[in-house]
Amino acid sequence: MYRSHVLVCGGTGCTSSGSAKVIEAFREELSKQGLDREVAVIQTGCHGLCAEGPIVVVYPDATFYARVGADDVPEIVSEHLLKGRPVTRLIYKDPNAVDENAVHSLNDTEFYKKQVRVALRNCGVIDPENIDEYIGTGGYQALGKVLTEMTPEQVIQEVLDSGLRGRGGGGFPTGLKWKLCAPNKADKKFVCCNADEGDPGAFMDRSVLEGDPHSVLEAMAIAGYAIGSSQGYIYVRAEYPIAVDRLKIAIRQAREYGLLGEDIFGTGFNFNIDLRLGAGAFVCGEETALMTSIEGNRGEPRPRPPFPAVKGLFGKPTILNNVETYANIPQIIMKGAEWFASMGVGKSKGTKVFALGGKINNTGLVEIPMGTPLRTIIEDIGGGCPNGKKFKAVQTGGPSGGCIPASYIDIPVDYDHLAEIGCIIGSGGMIVMDEDNCMVDIAKFFLEFTVDESCGKCTACRIGTRRMLELLNKITEGNATMDDLDKLEQLAYYVKTNSLCGLGQTAPNPVISTIKFFRHEYEAHILDKRCPAGVCKALMNYIIEPVDCKGCTACARVCPVGAISGELKKPHEIDTEKCIKCGACMETCKFHAISKR
């Protein structure tokens, strides 16, 4: 029996910051101090507060250490674990707390207080490579319950009553998808998991797979029982090596324990799961393209109908849900549909996981009840924009989503409220922008992504998105007219209504929403030949303010093209014809005499 447990984040973010070395240092130091039989060191999944990694949490007091390096470990061991005195300098300082020094426990932070962790319940809590720890938190009890106490119809009805909707972006009712597939007769049916997370800035599914892979395996087995399937496939990005390795370990352990394979729990139910690695094509996040890829073909979408519930993988009835959707299923079975439906609002039940990124203080993973105001996410949980900058907008749903402006900061974040303003939740990426972002440039960034990722099967997406990008480039270069803006808007709606699959149908959303909410920025680029945020290089110049310039020559010395001239201790000038707009002069000036216009 250990008296203390040291939990070290082993998610991708913390691993890239050196958490593996921290774990090794803890084990070596504990052995050196003779504490290795009293203190256990456990590698967990993502804790959520990625900006502060590597994260270390010491139990039983839940002391929350942030940005821990291997060099800090001897002090933590000697002071905290040996003498019982927490190392104050390493304890996380909450910038939002009234008294930042009062924060010692993980749950004391503003970041965690307003979260409700359902899909992420075990992430950062258990060792994802140890099936016993998952079972110790109630794992596989839901599978045992459905196989011994419930009929397939009762399982489907429970999921229907919960109100769970697909968390991959479409928001289709999960129970209804299962219900449509169940009665279809076939010699084989399939259960698929979409772990092909391709949105820029999104890492929700990756974190669940890295921190709690068994929850997905258990849920897929439950789904297999509900629809009459004996085979599941998880389609996961090859760029997720940690997630892939932990899935392989989890599948092997579940088979060894008889929780996958033949005659599970002695009930005669058979279910197996295999992995298929994706090459990182964004279009393979679309369900029919994903199935085509699993079959060994080029990932391209298929016309619907027939829908996958009738004719899916290998032409057989198939259901497909994403990682987060599955992660909710065991809890719904064990705690009941009413419990899950009690969270959220309207037709948006339960919680949603978001990946907070961009211009936000608390970059990381958050899970909140549906209907939580955007202000709570941005200001309370996210800690607002860095450096006192003003919040301008947030892009939800990645390349498929839309921009929510600051004027809607109090909007409830759920399927219906966001749809009312032309935005979507999507899979859960949430990229925050401040006053220094150009919204035309943001639209161009996402459209560049979808142009590159279009599979090319349908003309509307293949050609339409490329023409849209050409018009956006024309606008950001100062060569467009108001007619071009009208053409861009018309083309966006054409692509939206005529594309074959969800990628093309949603690709114009960033353009449509930015034109809707930030039309004045587009007009400034076109009519005034000016980028209000000073981002678009073709419409921007660096100017030295004579009143503020001290003539120190620092800017002239760093200019790579010799565009700055002037005498010592006298105001300098920038030759805009020579200037390549690298920004080196502005970064160097200590007197803030250089500005962008």
**Quick one: what percent of the chain has pLDDT higher than 90?**
72
pLDDT above 70 for 101: no
> In terms of Cα–Cα distance, which of 106, 20, 112, 97 is closest to 60?
106
Q: What does the alpha-carbon distance between residue 78 and residue 60 come to, in Å, rounded to a whole number?
A: 17
pLDDT above 70 for 98: no
Q: What does the alpha-carbon distance between residue 400 and residue 535 come to, in Å, rounded to a whole number?
A: 23
* Alpha-helix residue ranges (DSSP H) falling in 258-346: 287-294, 323-335, 337-341
Q: What is the 3-state secondary structure (H, E, C) of 39-51?
A: EEEEEECCCCCHH
Task: Record the tokens describing residue 365, joined without a space.
Answer: 């993973």
In this prediction, residue 113 carries a pLDDT of 86
Backbone phi, psi, residue 30, to 5°: -65, -40
Q: What does the alpha-carbon distance between residue 497 and residue 427 come to, in Å, rounded to a whole number?
A: 21
pLDDT in tens, 313-338: 999 999 999 999 999 999 999 999 99
- pLDDT band at residue 292 under the 50/70/90 scheme: very high
**CA 222 distance to own-chain centroid:** 26
pLDDT in tens, 272-284: 999 999 987 878 8
DSSP string, 563-585: -EE--TTS--EE-TTT-----HH
4-109 classified as CATH 3.10.290.10 = no
> In terms of Cα–Cα distance, which of 208, 222, 140 is closest to 168?
208
Backbone phi, psi, residue 95, to 5°: -65, -20
In this prediction, residue 428 carries a pLDDT of 84
Task: Record the tokens describing residue 398, joined without a space.
Answer: 């990645």
Average pLDDT over residues 138-157: 97
Q: What does the alpha-carbon distance between residue 336 and residue 142 come to, in Å, rounded to a whole number?
A: 11
pLDDT in tens, 181-196: 999 999 999 999 999 8
Average pLDDT over residues 390-407: 89
Q: Residue 437 in contact with residue 392, Cβ under 8 Å?
A: yes
- pLDDT band at residue 419 under the 50/70/90 scheme: confident
* Alpha-helix residue ranges (DSSP H) falling in 397-508: 415-420, 439-453, 459-476, 482-498, 502-506
Q: Residue 201 in contact with residue 400, Cβ under 8 Å?
A: no
Please say whether the dihedral angle defined by the alpha carbons of residues 369, 375, 377 and 381, taken in this order, is positive or negative. negative
Who's near 108: CB < 8 A, 6+ residues apart? Answer: 64, 94, 97, 102
pLDDT above 60 for 557: yes
pLDDT in tens, 204-233: 899 999 999 999 999 999 999 999 999 999
pLDDT above 60 for 353: yes
In this prediction, residue 377 carries a pLDDT of 94
Task: Record the tokens describing residue 52, joined without a space.
Answer: 């502060």
Q: What does the alpha-carbon distance between residue 138 and residue 150 come to, in Å, rounded to a whole number?
A: 18
In this prediction, residue 121 carries a pLDDT of 94
In this prediction, residue 514 carries a pLDDT of 93
pLDDT in tens, 529-538: 989 888 888 8
CATH class belonging to 439-527 = mainly alpha
pLDDT above 90 for 471: yes
Q: What does the alpha-carbon distance between residue 456 and residue 216 come to, in Å, rounded to a whole number?
A: 32
Boundaries of every domain in the chain: 4-109, 131-340, 345-434, 439-527, 541-596
Who's near 475: CB < 8 A, 6+ residues apart? Answer: 440, 484, 485, 488, 522, 525, 526
197-206, 400-409, 466-475, 541-550: which range is least confident on average?
A: 197-206
* Domain 345-434: assigned CATH number: 3.10.20.600
> In terms of Cα–Cα distance, which of 396, 507, 402, 397 is closest to 456?
507
Q: Residue 353: which H helix or E strand, with range? A: strand 351-358
In this prediction, residue 300 carries a pLDDT of 87
* Helices 174-181 and 152-162: angle between axes, nearest 10 degrees: 150
Compute the mean pLDDT over every residue in the chain, rounded to the nearest whole number. 91
- pLDDT band at residue 170 under the 50/70/90 scheme: confident
In this prediction, residue 457 carries a pLDDT of 86
Average pLDDT over residues 131-159: 97
Task: Record the tokens describing residue 325, joined without a space.
Answer: 């959707």
Backbone phi, psi, residue 339, to 5°: -60, -50
DSSP string, 240-260: -HHHHHHHHHHHHHHHHTTSS
> In terms of Cα–Cα distance, which of 21, 213, 31 is closest to 127?
213
- pLDDT band at residue 168 under the 50/70/90 scheme: confident
Q: Residue 500's CB: how many other CB atoms inside 10 A?
A: 22
Residue-wise burial string across 94-120, b where 16 or more C-beta atoms lie within 10 A, e elsewhere: bebeeeeeebbebebbbbbeebebbbb
Q: Tally the residues of the chain.
A: 597
Q: Residue 374 in contact with residue 404, Cβ under 8 Å?
A: yes
In this prediction, residue 100 carries a pLDDT of 56
Average pLDDT over residues 391-401: 87
DSSP string, 107-171: GGSHHHHT---STTTTTTTS-TT-HHHHHHTTTTHHHHHHHHH--HHHHHHHHHHHT-B-TTTT-
131-340 classified as CATH 3.20.20.10 = no
In this prediction, residue 577 carries a pLDDT of 86
Does residue 110 or residue 235 have the better pLDDT? 235
Task: Record the tokens describing residue 487, joined without a space.
Answer: 């053409």
541-596 classified as CATH 3.30.70.20 = yes
Q: Residue 275's CB: how many other CB atoms inside 10 A?
A: 14
pLDDT above 60 for 470: yes
In this prediction, residue 209 carries a pLDDT of 96
Task: Record the tokens describing residue 15, joined without a space.
Answer: 């691993």
Average pLDDT over residues 418-426: 86
